[in-house]
Structure 1
Amino acid sequence: MIKRNIFKNIGPLDHRYSLRDEFKDYSTYLSEEAKVKYQATVELALVKALAKRGICSQEVATQVEKAVKEITPEEVYKEERKTKHNIRALVNCIQHKVSEEAKPYIHFTTTSFDIVDTANSLRYKEATEELILPTLKELEKLLMEIALREKETVQVGRTHGQHAVPITFGFAIAEYVSRLGNTIQDIEESSKQLKGKIAGAVGAYNASHLFFDQPESFEADVLAELDLEASTHSTQIVEPEYITNFVHYLTSCFGVIANFSDDMRHLQRSEIGEVGEYFDEDQVGSSTMPHKRNPINYENVKSMWKEFMPRMMTVYQDQISEHQRDLTNSASSRFIPEIIVGLLSSVNRLIRVGEKLVVDHDNMKKNFAQNKELVVAEPLYILLASYGHPDAHEVVRKLTLEAEETGQTLRKLVQTKEELKPYWEQFNQKQRELLVNPEKYIGISVDKTEKIVKSWSNKLDIELTG
């Protein structure tokens, strides 16, 4: 067993972001040890299918199953130093642990990437089911709870960085409930589409056809042991679009949480101060300014996204393989687990931060109050137009300029303009109330928030407390 001080590792995922307990869960599916384990599991599935067809005995399958349980990455890597071939090294290590009778049936009729691609599909599929989806749904549930809690908290809307018409903070969070929910569904569906292959060196079943009249049926038997289906067409590799689509949706999900983090980061600006990260008693925000409380967690998520999002370009490039296969994806595809770990690390960070999210309701009211009187420009213009004013937008635009110059409110100015009084008199009580109380001009923010949360709670089978 190789033991290494984590601070001698090169990759920051392994020394900076591996110090939390959840990293042990990542390694179950995404480590080099896991990769070897899953490849050995595919070799075992092959022998089990052979035994079921009477090509080898059940005793052979039992021996191989025992050997596979004993395989370690250390011995495989040691063997690879001799073979200069990772799958041949794995096969040799399994063969070293079984009888002479069993040895011929290990890796029988297969090529290396029957094992590699099938093992990757299997581990990414299981990682999705057991790790990725539960973690994402935990964040989704947290966002749902925040959205419902703050569904009536009035917040000024912002477009282009400028104050717009009001919404509620819960409505703002509901945006991310929906966007994250969509990507969760996409990840789940694309993971179910991950395929395997037992089709041989060029995908034409040349070797297996020597023994089976219907080699595709044999392939299906092997993959059924792993709860996988075969790629529609294979060369030496599985069609790359399955894994490309899967990683694409992971990357898209990363973009959603990066956008959320960016929004939360900006809302923590000193001049805005509408939300805040909980700071521990001994936490330091700046090495030189003791008063600072930097939004480090949200900034970290965006920083991680900046690192891993561009790697999607490499995955797209790995779609290209000359003729029946070249080796140009053999190194680059090994980094896909890092994309998954980067995403999960960021999602877990947001869960920890979100559980202690501080909403400053006073600052939200103060920020809204800055331009609350100008907010009525939109409903005023629309109401004037609805009652027949021929140029309502231009009239209200000029009124806003006058309001800014004189300090008068729009609703007061409207009532002083003789040409506008007839329109004002036609407004009903509800319409006038919106102009007097701009904080009520939030549309269906509350209802929409509830609707979004309920919909995604049902779609994703997330049970909310309270």
Structure 2
Amino acid sequence: MAHISSADQTLTDVSRIASGRRSFAAQENGIALGPLDGRYRPAVAPLTDYLSEAALNRDRIAVEVEWLIHLSSASALPGISALNADQQEKLRAIVTEFDADSIEELAEIEKATVHDVKAVEYYIGRRLAGIGIEQLKPLVHFACTSEDINNLSYALGVKGAVQHVWLPAARTLSAKLHAIAEENRAVPMLSRTHGQPATPSTLGKEIAVLAYRLDRQLKRIENAEYLGKINGATGTYAAHYAAAPALDWQAISRSFVEGLGLSWNPLTTQIESHDWQAELYADIARFNRILHNLCTDIWSYISIGYFAQIPVPGATGSSTMPHKVNPIRFENAEANLEISSALLDTLASTLVTSRWQRDLTDSSSQRNIGVAFGHSLLAINNVLGGLGRLDTAEQVLAEDLDHNWEVLGEAIQTVMRAEALAGVPGMDDPYERLKDLTRGQRVDATRMREFVAELGLSQDAENRLHALTPGTYTGIAARLVDHLTD
């Protein structure tokens, strides 16, 4: 009998396991390849109304329909009169009635056209006879290149996702952080610079720092500009003027784009240059990274006991260690923020470059916009969930401060400098004297007060330092939280 090596046996085992698996690829039962459409679907589902393939096609139809209405309303072409209110309503119903059957029909058309935007044109054309305007079929997609429709559709989708889904979630997170900062504004906390004990602050002030940073990014994102263009195959209006040379096509283009709620880009190649997207994605990626910083800080505060986690009833922290309550919400958020930021960075760097008048790299890249937003939204939801199950452990914070009286060394040597300037004798080398007392060693309350008493300070200065404790050496940290509402 031939000897079977352990490696060969492993291959045999893997082969047997693989051969016994049922194929999911042929099953149309909603099995997802990626986590956003699988286990995390409920958290990111609202984005599908704006950034999914179906949403993109619905917005393409909307742009095509509005362009037809706009051209007819402007009497842009000879023999074309404005559509009446009923005709306009029925045209717009093509958009509002876009459903699962519509998605399937459009997909069937695309199988024949092998072109997504052309499929949209034909989809609309099929419906004009029912509205009584079949003669306007040539007006669908009139003088347009695919990118005229796509750039506007993406702008509408991204704007909707930001304003109606991502920003509301981010604002809810900001409000939660404001509440935590306010609640803990006066709770003293030992700071750690380079991971070592440092001048105390308050827990509320430290949370406020991160909230303030996030709020700055939210203001930038709230003021984002969404650009669009509709100017033909290379941005020259060549086809427009060939068909109707007497018209002011720039004015028609501008009024149409602005009528969609977008900013008009007057100067492009075949594609809208996507600079606005790069700017927006950079701001969201920066928000992600600040939020990542918050996650790592909160995780660290949990690990040293500053926050206690409220267990979820029935939940398991570890498959083998029953006592554990893990900060998984923050860890999950970290991973998703990193994925989102990486995708946003890639989009921002890819979309600003297009060879000559057009290449197709932007088309493939933009199909991942929803993925980038999805991971960011998932992270925000996880952070909110994590923050909602935290309790401030004030006793732990107080004990930590009481074990680190050496942090008052900064206050004492600074008071000595002020005393020296006021002419009080014996205040030489204050920094060095405190360094000798405190560096690398613990100093308790008794020793620190003995040291202060031996300095020969003015009575007022000595009284102030005797009254000082690590828990009261927080400066105006509590008042600084007010800047969140400036």
Question: Does TM, normalized by the shorter one, top 0.5?
Answer: yes
Question: Deviation of residue 232 (structure 1)?
Answer: 3.9
Q: Are 2:270 and 1:236 equivalent residues in the alignment? A: yes
Question: Deviation of residue 17 (structure 1)?
Answer: 0.8
- Which of the numbers 393, 397, 400 marks the counterpart of 2:438? 400
- Which of the numbers 28, 31, 46 marks the counterpart of 1:25? 46
Question: Deviation of residue 68 (structure 1)?
Answer: 3.5
Contact map agreement 1:196 1:231 (CA 8 A) in 2:
yes
Per the alignment, do residues 425 and 66 of structure 1 end up closer, same or farther by CA in structure 2, a change over 3 Å counting?
closer
Question: Which residue does 2:125 correspond to in 1?
Answer: 95
- Which of the numbers 353, 367, 373 marks the counterpart of 1:320? 353
Contact map agreement 1:33 1:73 (CA 8 A) in 2:
yes
Contact map agreement 1:174 1:453 (CA 8 A) in 2:
yes
Q: Report the secondary structure of 1:158's partner residue.
A: strand
Question: Which residue does 1:410 correspond to in 2?
Answer: 448
Contact map agreement 1:29 1:35 (CA 8 A) in 2:
yes
Q: Report the secondary structure of 2:165's partner residue.
A: helix
Q: Report the secondary structure of 2:37's partner residue.
A: helix
Question: Which residue does 1:364 correspond to in 2?
Answer: 397
CA offset digits 1:56-93 (Å, max 9, x no partner)? 34056455333334442222222111111110111111
The count of residues paired between Structure 1 and Structure 2 equals: 439
Question: Which residue does 1:311 correspond to in 2?
Answer: 343
Question: Which residue does 1:463 correspond to in 2?
Answer: none
Contact map agreement 2:413 2:434 (CA 8 A) in 1:
yes
User: After the TM superposition, which of the residue ranges 216-225 and 163-172 deviates more from structure 2?
Assistant: 216-225
Question: Deviation of residue 426 (structure 1)?
Answer: 6.0
Cα distance in 1 for residues equivalent to 2:140 and 2:158: 24
The structure with the largest alpha-carbon Rg is 2
* Amino acid of the structure 2 residue aligned with 1:445: A
Q: Are 2:98 and 1:66 equivalent residues in the alignment? A: no
Superposed counterparts of 1:209-248, under 5 Å: 209-210=241-242, 211=244, 213-248=247-282
Question: Which residue does 2:71 correspond to in 1?
Answer: 50
* Amino acid of the structure 2 residue aligned with 1:454: T
Per the alignment, do residues 306 and 403 of structure 1 end up closer, same or farther by CA in structure 2, a change over 3 Å counting?
closer
Q: Are 2:36 and 1:13 equivalent residues in the alignment? A: yes
Question: Deviation of residue 402 (structure 1)?
Answer: 9.1
Contact map agreement 1:403 1:413 (CA 8 A) in 2:
no
* Amino acid of the structure 2 residue aligned with 1:344: L
Question: Deviation of residue 196 (structure 1)?
Answer: 0.8
Question: Deviation of residue 438 (structure 1)?
Answer: 2.5
Q: State the TM-score, normalizing by the size of structure 1.
A: 0.89
User: After the TM superposition, which of the residue ranges 88-97 and 403-412 deviates more from structure 2?
Assistant: 403-412
Question: Which residue does 1:141 correspond to in 2?
Answer: 175
Contact map agreement 1:48 1:61 (CA 8 A) in 2:
yes
Cα distance in 1 for residues equivalent to 2:328 and 2:392: 17
Contact map agreement 2:419 2:458 (CA 8 A) in 1:
no
Q: Are 2:333 and 1:289 equivalent residues in the alignment? A: no
Q: Report the secondary structure of 2:362's partner residue.
A: coil
Cα distance in 2 for residues equivalent to 1:313 and 1:247: 7
Q: Percent identity over the alignment?
A: 26
Cα distance in 2 for residues equivalent to 1:235 and 1:441: 61
Cα distance in 1 for residues equivalent to 2:201 and 2:456: 30
Question: Which residue does 1:427 correspond to in 2?
Answer: 461
Contact map agreement 1:32 1:73 (CA 8 A) in 2:
no
Per the alignment, do residues 76 and 438 of structure 1 end up closer, same or farther by CA in structure 2, a change over 3 Å counting?
same
Question: Which residue does 1:153 correspond to in 2?
Answer: 187
Contact map agreement 1:51 1:61 (CA 8 A) in 2:
no
Contact map agreement 2:210 2:294 (CA 8 A) in 1:
yes
Cα distance in 2 for residues equivalent to 1:158 and 1:75: 61
Contact map agreement 2:63 2:149 (CA 8 A) in 1:
yes
Question: Deviation of residue 144 (structure 1)?
Answer: 0.8
Question: Deviation of residue 18 (structure 1)?
Answer: 0.8
Question: Deviation of residue 97 (structure 1)?
Answer: 1.4
* Amino acid of the structure 1 residue aligned with 2:227: K
Cα distance in 2 for residues equivalent to 1:146 and 1:234: 47
* Amino acid of the structure 2 residue aligned with 1:252: R
Question: Which residue does 1:459 correspond to in 2?
Answer: none
Give unpaired runs (5+ residues) of structure 1.
456-466
* Amino acid of the structure 1 residue aligned with 2:337: W
* Amino acid of the structure 2 residue aligned with 1:5: N
Question: Deviation of residue 390 (structure 1)?
Answer: 4.2
Question: Which residue does 1:273 correspond to in 2?
Answer: 305
Cα distance in 1 for residues equivalent to 2:191 and 2:241: 65
Cα distance in 1 for residues equivalent to 2:381 and 2:235: 40
Q: Are 2:370 and 1:340 equivalent residues in the alignment? A: no
Q: Are 2:419 and 1:387 equivalent residues in the alignment? A: yes
Cα distance in 1 for residues equivalent to 2:227 and 2:335: 32
Cα distance in 1 for residues equivalent to 2:105 and 2:259: 26
Question: Which residue does 2:59 correspond to in 1?
Answer: 38
Cα distance in 1 for residues equivalent to 2:255 and 2:444: 81
Question: Which residue does 1:76 correspond to in 2?
Answer: 106
Per the alignment, do residues 63 and 103 of structure 1 end up closer, same or farther by CA in structure 2, a change over 3 Å counting?
farther
Cα distance in 1 for residues equivalent to 2:414 and 2:56: 62
Question: Deviation of residue 447 (structure 1)?
Answer: 0.6
Q: Report the secondary structure of 2:197's partner residue.
A: strand
Question: Which residue does 1:330 correspond to in 2?
Answer: 363
Question: Deviation of residue 185 (structure 1)?
Answer: 0.5
Q: Report the secondary structure of 1:330's partner residue.
A: helix
Cα distance in 2 for residues equivalent to 1:405 and 1:163: 13
- Which of the numbers 414, 433, 452 marks the counterpart of 2:483? 452
Cα distance in 2 for residues equivalent to 1:176 and 1:444: 17
Question: Which residue does 1:458 correspond to in 2?
Answer: none
Question: Deviation of residue 442 (structure 1)?
Answer: 0.4
Q: Report the secondary structure of 1:446's partner residue.
A: helix
Contact map agreement 2:189 2:200 (CA 8 A) in 1:
yes
Per the alignment, do residues 135 and 402 of structure 1 end up closer, same or farther by CA in structure 2, a change over 3 Å counting?
closer
Contact map agreement 1:304 1:346 (CA 8 A) in 2:
yes
Question: Deviation of residue 403 (structure 1)?
Answer: 6.1
Cα distance in 2 for residues equivalent to 1:348 and 1:181: 17
Give unpaired runs (5+ residues) of structure 2.
1-25, 421-426
Q: State the TM-score, normalizing by the size of structure 2.
A: 0.85
- Which of the numbers 240, 258, 282 marks the counterpart of 1:208? 240
CA offset digits 1:111-169 (Å, max 9, x no partner)? 11111111111121122222222211111111111111111111111111111111111
